[in-house]
Amino acid sequence: MPGMQSEIGPAAGGASSPGWQVEGGAPGEPGRLRLTGGWHLQAIARRQRMLADALARLARHHPAHGWDLRDVARIDTLGATLLWRVWGRQLPDRILLRPEQHALFARLEAAGAARGAGEPAPDARDATGTGFARQALSHAADLVSLFGQFLLDLGRVLARPSRLPWRDLSAAVFRTGAQALPITAIVGFLVGVVFCYLSGRQLQQFGADVFIVNLLGITVVRELGPMLAAILVAGRSGSAITAQIGVMRLNQELDAMTVLGIAHGLRLVLPRVLALALVLPLLVVWTSLATLAGGVVAAQVELGLSAGQFIERLRVTLPILNVGIGLLKGVVFGVLVAIVSCHFGLRTRPDTASLGRSVTASVVTAITVVILADAVFAVAFSGMGLRR
């Protein structure tokens, strides 16, 4: 065609690559931007930014030109949206489309109208400090009421032991107790070795090697054993309890229980709390023994203190009251870990993201609560079981 000026866009030759030609545009004659090739996902994907910029420049240079999409081999939603954005979210005044392309752009137009009408309100929850405080308060209130419910259920079960779900209880004891024996033993033993080795070295400088037994005995039995056992159980069984109950929420099992008139407190919370209250003191003893065993080994190697001497000295220097304090801590920590884990399990909302958040929050909260309780114990028992 004479007098036609033509600009050929990148890769206009390939049938499947997006391309364009500028046609006409002489004064008095309306020109057009003719798109060719494929304007679909595979053709555009890597060049999306470049194409959008090039088209925008083209539209700026030739504002009076119409658009011609009839030679486009294939266009999909992505390609259409790309053009739609270049056009400023509306159809240009002059445009030539094939019938099926009309439908595509009509859908874009409808979607734009719908978006303008109903912008979803931003989720204001948790955005502010007061939101956080309210959340913390509601967790605290729920925890207290869960504990109260536990005490009521405990009273009810003591009055009528046949109401206790014995099978659930024994399953929980096995899972949280028996299966935790290897890991607590390994961790305890290694901590004992390291602790004894380091402190032994320091004491040696003053020629006070034998006092390693006093030091190790009181710290392990009173402090380290209960803490190690509680933290391991919080990570191991606490997370399992939360996940288990959370999945029951996802699965509508909790709803089914309510509808059947089966109380969550009696059937889910009580056996788990009782199991941990029963098992954790035993694990405390086990972990303390493993830690002391580690101490015995390290003392023998490092300080030349025989096992017999170690045990004899331990018997003489360790007030037996400390064992009682360790056991009491075990019971309290067990109840705390179980209540916190059940609480976060029951608070789970029926979606998978919520389940993940619940398990994380459960373990973190359980460990924090255990450490707080330990601090309270330290203050409360500060004058007991310690020789001067």
Partner 1 sequence: MRVAEDIVLDVAHLDTRVGSQVVHRDLSLQVRRGEVLAVVGGSGSGKTTLLRQMLGLERPAAGRVEVFGVDLARADARALAGVRGRWGVLFQQGGLFSALSALDNVALPLRELRCLDDALVREVAALKLAMVGIGPEHHGKRPSQLSGGMARRVGLARAIALDPELLFLDEPTASLDPVLARGFVALLRELAAELAPTVVIITHDRETVEALASRVAVLARGRLAAVGEVARVAALDDPAVAAFFRSGEAPGPSAPGDTGHRSAGD
Site residues (vs partner 1, CB under 8 A): 107, 110, 125, 247-248, 251-253, 255-256, 258-262
DSSP state of 384: S
The two tokens of residue 33 are: 């931007």
DSSP state of 341: H
Nearer of residues 202 and 251 to partner 1, judged by Cβ = 251
Task: Please name which of 360, 366, 343, 359 lies closest in space to residue 230, comparing C-alpha atoms.
Answer: 366
The sign of the torsion formed by the CA atoms of 229, 231, 235, 239 equals positive
Least distance CB 175 / partner 1 (angstroms): 12
Contact 82, 48 (CB under 8 A): yes
Least distance CB 373 / partner 1 (angstroms): 31
Least distance CB 260 / partner 1 (angstroms): 5
Element (H, E) at 357: helix 352-380
Neighbours of 307 (CB within 10 A): 12
Nearer of residues 32 and 249 to partner 1, judged by Cβ = 249
Nearer of residues 172 and 220 to partner 1, judged by Cβ = 172
Radius of gyration over every alpha carbon of the chain, rounded to an integer in angstroms:
36
CA distance 287 to 281: 10
Least distance CB 93 / partner 1 (angstroms): 25
Exposure of 119 by Cβ count < 10 A (0-12 exposed, 13-18 middle, 19+ buried)? exposed
- What are 34's strand-pairing partners? 21, 68
CA distance 341 to 53: 54
Nearer of residues 145 and 251 to partner 1, judged by Cβ = 251
The two tokens of residue 220 are: 């392990």
Nearer of residues 47 and 139 to partner 1, judged by Cβ = 139
* Distance, CA of 74 to chain centre: 44
Nearer of residues 34 and 249 to partner 1, judged by Cβ = 249
| Beta pairing, strands 19-23 & 72-75 | unpaired
Least distance CB 73 / partner 1 (angstroms): 24
Nearer of residues 53 and 253 to partner 1, judged by Cβ = 253
Least distance CB 355 / partner 1 (angstroms): 15
Least distance CB 110 / partner 1 (angstroms): 6
Contact 266, 165 (CB under 8 A): yes
Least distance CB 33 / partner 1 (angstroms): 30
Query: What one-character-per-residue DSSP string does 175-189 give?
Result: HHTGGGHHHHHHHHH
Contact 212, 203 (CB under 8 A): yes
Nearer of residues 52 and 154 to partner 1, judged by Cβ = 154
Least distance CB 125 / partner 1 (angstroms): 7
Task: Please name which of 368, 350, 379 lies closest in space to residue 143, comparing C-alpha atoms.
Answer: 368
Nearer of residues 171 and 293 to partner 1, judged by Cβ = 171
CA distance 235 to 231: 6
Nearer of residues 250 and 373 to partner 1, judged by Cβ = 250
Least distance CB 74 / partner 1 (angstroms): 20
